[in-house]
Amino acid sequence: MLRKRNEKDRMSRTVVSAESLEKIVQTSAGELVILDGIDLEINQGETVAVVGASGSGKTTLLGILAGLDTASAGAVKLLDANLTDLDEEARALVRGQHVGFVFQSFQLLASLTALENVMLPVELRGDTMAQSQAQALLEKVGLTDRLDHYPRQLSGGEQQRVAIARAFASNPTVLFADEPTGNLDTQTGELICQLLFDLNTEFGTTLVMVTHDLALAARCGRTISISGGRIVPSQSQEAAK
Amino acid sequence: MNMMLVARMAWRDVRSGEMALLLVALLVAVGTVTSISLFVDRLQSALLEESSNFLAADRQISSSQAIPEAFVQQAQQRGLNTAQTLVFPSMVFAGDLNQLVSVKAVDATYPLRGELIVGSEPFQRGAPTDTVPEPGTVWLDSRLFPAMNLGLGDTIEVGMAQLTVASVLIAEPDRGGSFFDLGPRLLMNMQDVEATEVVQPGSRLSYRLLLSGAEVELEGLREDLPLKPNFNWVSVRESSPRIGRALDRAESFLLLGGLLGVLLAGIAVGLSAHRYAQRHFDHVGVLKTLGATPTQILRGFMSLLLMVGLAAIGLGLLLGSLLHVAIVEILATLIAVELPLPTARPFLLGAATGLICALAFAMPAFIHLKNVEPMRVIRRDLGVAPLSRWLSYGAAAGGSLLLLVWYTKDFWLTLWTLVSIVSICVVFGVLAWALLKGGRVAGMQAKSGWRLALAGLQRRRAENTAQILIFGVAIMLLLVMVLIRTALIDFDRLGLDSMDLDPAVRRQLVTLLDNRGNPETVLQDLGSVFGEQPVFAELGRVCDQIGAAAAEQGVTIQLDPTFQPHFELYTGLVFQLVCDGIAAPVVIARGGRYDELVRRCGAAEHMGYGAGFSLAIDPIRELINDTNPKATQEADILVAFSTATRLETAMARQRSWHEQGRVAVMALEPLESKEMAQQLANEKGSVQLDWIDP
């Protein structure tokens, strides 16, 4: 059955941290610095929004923090795992164990039904209760009558709800969301956003969300602004200085 | 990924149609090879079986000497079945009548293959029997009954023995065209041979040991026995070289055809696997974000390929079997024999081909999937590192090489074939690349539609070059198939090339193959290759003598050392007369020396010479119709001659008319008066009469 973390576990330890994080890529015009010395810490149960203009490096930061990409320099820790020291094989195991994802373009597998999509992360972990867990989650997101529908038979909002159910199916410690409402109309985006926050609260997950929607960012406990590959200090932080 | 998950993924991909193209491509490869090899296998078995019937055994050992008992014992120790026959010509007597017959004495186990057909009355259909004549009895060819005024139960003398006619021999399996088999057959029991006292030193005898059994034991026996120089080992291919050659050529062509089909299917497998992989980059990216490791991805997709491969092999074998049944049905009217059940080899060949196709052509694309970056899920612009060309093309070339070697059983031929294909790919790849690049310049000046199309081609220049090459190679393979078919039918050179020969010997044989024409030049060339030989000097003398006479008639003499009329009657010089027809040269007569036959028929050594030829009547008639428009005209002159005139004189007169271009016919017999001749001329339609009377 799905596990829910108790209040005591929450806000007790750092789950994601980055130190002097750099990402540099080679282009035909020379070196391009995407991230330039990022330092951050995100604690268990926090909801953090990463905001910034297009090309500021927020999506790259999300990829590196989630172990999808590698940094050129610096250190990244996800729970006890130092991601910078791990190869893709080990990073994949960490992702499977601790991380959930919600993407702007849903990223459901077209050849699988809604139920099969949600079952997938559980199946990958070798859990035998995949189907019952997936059914319970789809029930939570209000898609009980859509279990056998393929993604092409679902609306955008419904697809994102399946994606959210899939993200929580592996009972992750951290949930990374990349513009989760970016492809949805305002009303549907609002409903999806509410669902995401509700489930996050219910499961006690740490949420790291990349968005350029300031209203959505405002619903998070903390906002990290990125510009030119660096973290821009917030007004409160400036004031504290 | 566990196997259950992989199986579910495979099923989901098949269900959604993602795997359909790959499945179909593999299915075609397996089905093609299985159906062709099943058909060839059954046809070969049938032909060999039928041919074995002609030998009455799987193999024979023949000799003019008695077969040593040790040979029989060694064969039996190997678990082989044996039977012995002895054939010799002899005069037989029945009352006052006598006849030259071909006697065959057989033991109780004869025949090992095929069957004897006997009847109770001559010239009837008869029925098969599994017995042989009892000691003291004979079975006679139908022709002997009226010729010697015999009936069943009568007595016939063979040498010193008196034997009872017990049955009519309608047919026997190994009735060949040997020189010993002239004359009607008399079949008797081997036990009676001694009593006939016809087997004496100097008798013309043909002893045969018939063998049947496992192929490996037969070949083992052949290696063990001291056969040379007195004993001949006879198999179907040796006894009937034409059947053997036809079998080899049919097998080569069909398998090469099948192989080229498989290479085409291999290309299809490669393309569909590549397409499948490309369509699954995002899929794999998602799986990786959800925690699938590269190893799991690799294992999962390899298992998936294996599953699809096995399913395709299973279905392909079934499809191939059905297809071959259809082929057999379609060709039923052309196949006179009943096809035996197939061996396991075609199924093995089909399954292995499917597996090799899947591994060599599809696996590289599947392996590549493990390299998909998980970051691709949020950064679609992130490409996937191109598949290692060494891995991709190396695996395809390796797989092709393996299949080609397996099919052709010739590594070097295969290697050179592949090297040629690669060279062609390089040359035409460069050309295609240049053509696409040139299209850019043309595109600048073209109208908008063309400009867009050419820009599209230009943008994906590498992929388009590869596609041009793939289709080019596919078309080339199809054309090669047509060429191979023609070459296999027309030339012995390929057979020569496929033989394991010393290069010097091969050169000599190629020289021989190409050498024909003016006798003097040909003999010179032959002399330079083989040195001075008595046979060349003799041929030179013959050509000189014939040449002079031929020149008078305007006939050109050509010497062709490779000419083989495939007629075993001739054992010396053979010849054919060729006439220029309107469309092509036409063979109007063939013949040769058969001294050996004359000697075997009893001619004294110093009189044992014979030569003969046969005229091809139909081609001659067609030739006359083609070249002489008057040939169909009615005769306009009747040459008639009196009883006092010689026939030769009348024939000379008719020839002189012919030389003048007139159509003259001759009265078939001398006539008593000119009036009678005139009446005959009137009856023939008022033709001009040419009366000859001294």
Which stretch of A137-146, B341-350, B604-613 has the lowest confidence by average pLDDT? Answer: B604-613
Q: Does A126 touch chain B (CB under 8 A)?
A: yes
Q: Above 50 in pLDDT, residue A3? A: no
Q: Above 50 in pLDDT, residue B418? A: yes
Question: What is the CB neighbour count within 10 angstroms for residue B260?
Answer: 20
Sheet holding B585-593, edge to edge: B574-580, B585-593, B611-615
What's the gap in Å between the CA of B42 and the closest CA on chain A? 44
In chain B, whose CA is at the least distance from the CA of A171? B290
Banded model confidence at residue B626, pLDDT cuts 50, 70, 90: low
Q: Which of A34, A109, A119 to mutate to test the interface with B (most CBs of B within 10 A)?
A: A109
Residue A63 with chain B: CB contacts under 8 Å: 375, 378-379
Distance CA A240, CA B11 (A): 60
With pLDDT > 90 as the criterion, what percentage of chain B qualifies? 10
Give the list of residues 6+ apart from residue A7 with CB closer than 8 angstroms, or none.
Answer: A204
How many CB contacts within 8 angstroms connect chain A with chain B? 86
A91-110: pLDDT as tens digits: 998 998 899 998 888 888 88
Residue A125 with chain B: CB contacts under 8 Å: 291
Query: Quick one: which of B554, B575, B578, B550 has its CA closest to B565?
Result: B575
Banded model confidence at residue A2, pLDDT cuts 50, 70, 90: very low
Which stretch of B2-16, B111-125, B538-552, B672-686 has the lowest confidence by average pLDDT? Answer: B2-16
- B375 contacts A95? CB cut-off 8 A: no
Q: Which pLDDT does position A39 carry in this prediction? A: 92
Banded model confidence at residue B105, pLDDT cuts 50, 70, 90: very high
Q: Which pLDDT does position A75 carry in this prediction? A: 92
Q: Does A112 touch chain B (CB under 8 A)?
A: yes
Out of A63, A124, A126, closest to residue B375 by CB = A63
Banded model confidence at residue B73, pLDDT cuts 50, 70, 90: very high
Q: Which of A23, A60, A107, A183 to mutate to test the interface with B (most CBs of B within 10 A)?
A: A107
- B374 contacts A68? CB cut-off 8 A: yes
Q: Above 50 in pLDDT, residue B179? A: no
B423-475: pLDDT as tens digits: 877 888 888 888 877 776 766 666 667 777 777 777 777 777 777 777 777 67
Give the mean model confidence (pLDDT) for residues B533-554.
81
Residue B285 with chain A: CB contacts under 8 Å: 107
DSSP annotation of B685 reads T
Out of A95, A107, A111, closest to residue B291 by CB = A95
- A68 contacts B289? CB cut-off 8 A: yes
Q: Above 90 in pLDDT, residue A176? A: yes
* Six-digit token string for B435: 């053509």
Give the mean model confidence (pLDDT) for residues B176-201.
75
Q: Does A63 touch chain B (CB under 8 A)?
A: yes
Are B106 and B190 in contact by the 8 Å Cβ rule? The answer is yes
Q: Above 50 in pLDDT, residue A1? A: no
Distance CA A151, CA A64 (A): 28
Out of A92, A104, A116, closest to residue B291 by CB = A92
For residue B212, what are the β-bridge partners? B81
Q: Does B292 touch chain A (CB under 8 A)?
A: yes
Q: Using CA of residue B357, residue B360, residue B364, residue B367, what is the dihedral sign?
A: positive
In chain B, whose CA is at the least distance from the CA of A70? B375
* Six-digit token string for B602: 């009893």
Q: Which pLDDT does position A130 carry in this prediction? A: 80
Out of A59, A120, A124, closest to residue B378 by CB = A59
Q: Does A107 touch chain B (CB under 8 A)?
A: yes
Q: Is B21 exposed, middle or buried (0-12, 13-18, 19+ CB in 10 A)?
A: middle
Helices marked H in B163-293 — which ranges?
Answer: 193-196, 215-224, 236-239, 241-279, 281-289
Q: Above 80 in pLDDT, residue B141? A: yes
- A112 contacts B12? CB cut-off 8 A: yes
Q: Which pLDDT does position B402 carry in this prediction? A: 79
Distance CA B677, CA B689 (A): 7
Query: Quick one: which of A140, A136, A138, A161 has its CA closest to A148?
Result: A138
**Which pairs count as long-range contacts for A165-168, CB under 8 Å and 24+ apart, including other chains?**
A165/A118, A165/A134, A165/A137, A165/A138, A165/A140, A165/A141, A166/A100, A166/A108, A166/A117, A166/A118, A166/A120, A166/A121, A166/A137, A166/B290, A167/A100, A167/A101, A167/A102, A168/A2, A168/A100, A168/A137, A168/A199, A168/A203, A168/A205
Name the range with the highest mean pLDDT among A64-68, B18-22, B100-104.
A64-68
Q: Which of B378, B379, B380 to mutate to test the interface with A (most CBs of A within 10 A)?
A: B378
Q: Above 50 in pLDDT, residue B180? A: no
Residue A61 with chain B: CB contacts under 8 Å: none
Q: Which pLDDT does position B628 carry in this prediction? A: 54
Q: Is B220 exposed, middle or buried (0-12, 13-18, 19+ CB in 10 A)?
A: middle
Q: ipTM of the predicted structure? A: 0.88
Q: Which of A34, A68, A159 to mutate to test the interface with B (most CBs of B within 10 A)?
A: A68
Q: Does B283 touch chain A (CB under 8 A)?
A: yes
Banded model confidence at residue B81, pLDDT cuts 50, 70, 90: very high
- B288 contacts A101? CB cut-off 8 A: no
- B296 contacts A120? CB cut-off 8 A: no
Distance CA A52, CA A102 (A): 19
Q: Does B3 touch chain A (CB under 8 A)?
A: no
Give the mean model confidence (pLDDT) for residues B600-615.
78
SS3 of residue B24 by DSSP = helix
Q: Which pLDDT does position B202 carry in this prediction? A: 66
| Better-scored residue on pLDDT, B50 or A198 | A198
Residue B295 with chain A: CB contacts under 8 Å: 89
Q: Which pLDDT does position B583 carry in this prediction? A: 56
- B18 contacts A124? CB cut-off 8 A: no
Are B404 and B418 in contact by the 8 Å Cβ rule? The answer is yes
| Better-scored residue on pLDDT, B429 or A74 | A74
DSSP annotation of B355 reads H
Write the CA distances from A75 to A19, A40, A68, A78, A92, integer angstroms.
5, 11, 14, 10, 17
Residue A120 with chain B: CB contacts under 8 Å: 287, 290
Q: Does B443 touch chain A (CB under 8 A)?
A: no
With pLDDT > 70 as the criterion, what percentage of chain B qualifies? 77
Which stretch of B60-74, B134-148, B219-233, B551-565 has the lowest confidence by average pLDDT? Answer: B551-565
Q: Above 50 in pLDDT, residue B548? A: yes
Banded model confidence at residue A11, pLDDT cuts 50, 70, 90: low
Q: Does B636 touch chain A (CB under 8 A)?
A: no
Q: Does A120 touch chain B (CB under 8 A)?
A: yes
Phi-psi region of A179 (alpha: psi -120 to 50; beta: other; left: phi over 0): left
What's the gap in Å between the CA of B287 and the closest CA on chain A? 8
Q: Does A30 touch chain B (CB under 8 A)?
A: no
B337-352: pLDDT as tens digits: 677 788 888 898 889 8
What's the gap in Å between the CA of A69 and the closest CA on chain B? 6
Q: Does B289 touch chain A (CB under 8 A)?
A: yes
Q: Above 90 in pLDDT, residue B621? A: no
- B377 contacts A121? CB cut-off 8 A: no
In chain B, whose CA is at the least distance from the CA of A105? B378
Q: Is B292 exposed, middle or buried (0-12, 13-18, 19+ CB in 10 A)?
A: buried
Q: Which pLDDT does position B234 carry in this prediction? A: 80
- B294 contacts A101? CB cut-off 8 A: no
Q: Does A109 touch chain B (CB under 8 A)?
A: yes
B206-257: pLDDT as tens digits: 889 999 988 889 889 988 888 877 888 887 666 555 555 556 666 666 666 6
Q: Which pLDDT does position B508 carry in this prediction? A: 67
Distance CA A131, CA A115 (A): 8
B317-338: pLDDT as tens digits: 999 999 888 888 887 766 656 7
Q: Above 90 in pLDDT, residue A208? A: yes
Rounded to the nearest integer, the mean pLDDT of chain B is 79
Residue A107 with chain B: CB contacts under 8 Å: 282, 285-286, 289, 377
Are B347 and A35 in contact by the 8 Å Cβ rule? The answer is no
Q: Above 80 in pLDDT, residue B575? A: yes
Q: Does A89 touch chain B (CB under 8 A)?
A: yes
Out of A69, A92, A96, closest to residue B375 by CB = A69
Got the DSSP string for chain A? ------TTTTTSSEEEEEEEEEEEEEETTEEEEEEEEEEEEEETT-EEEEEE-TTSSHHHHHHHHTTSS--SEEEEEETTEEGGG--HHHHHHHHHHHEEEE-TT----TTS-HHHHHHHHHHHTT-TTHHHHHHHHHHHTT-GGGTT--GGGS-HHHHHHHHHHHHHHT--SEEEEESTTTTS-HHHHHHHHHHHHHHHHHHT-EEEEE-S-HHHHHTSSEEEEEETTEEEPPHHHHHH-
Q: Which of A94, A102, A124, A208 to mutate to test the interface with B (most CBs of B within 10 A)?
A: A124
Rounded to the nearest integer, the mean pLDDT of chain A is 85
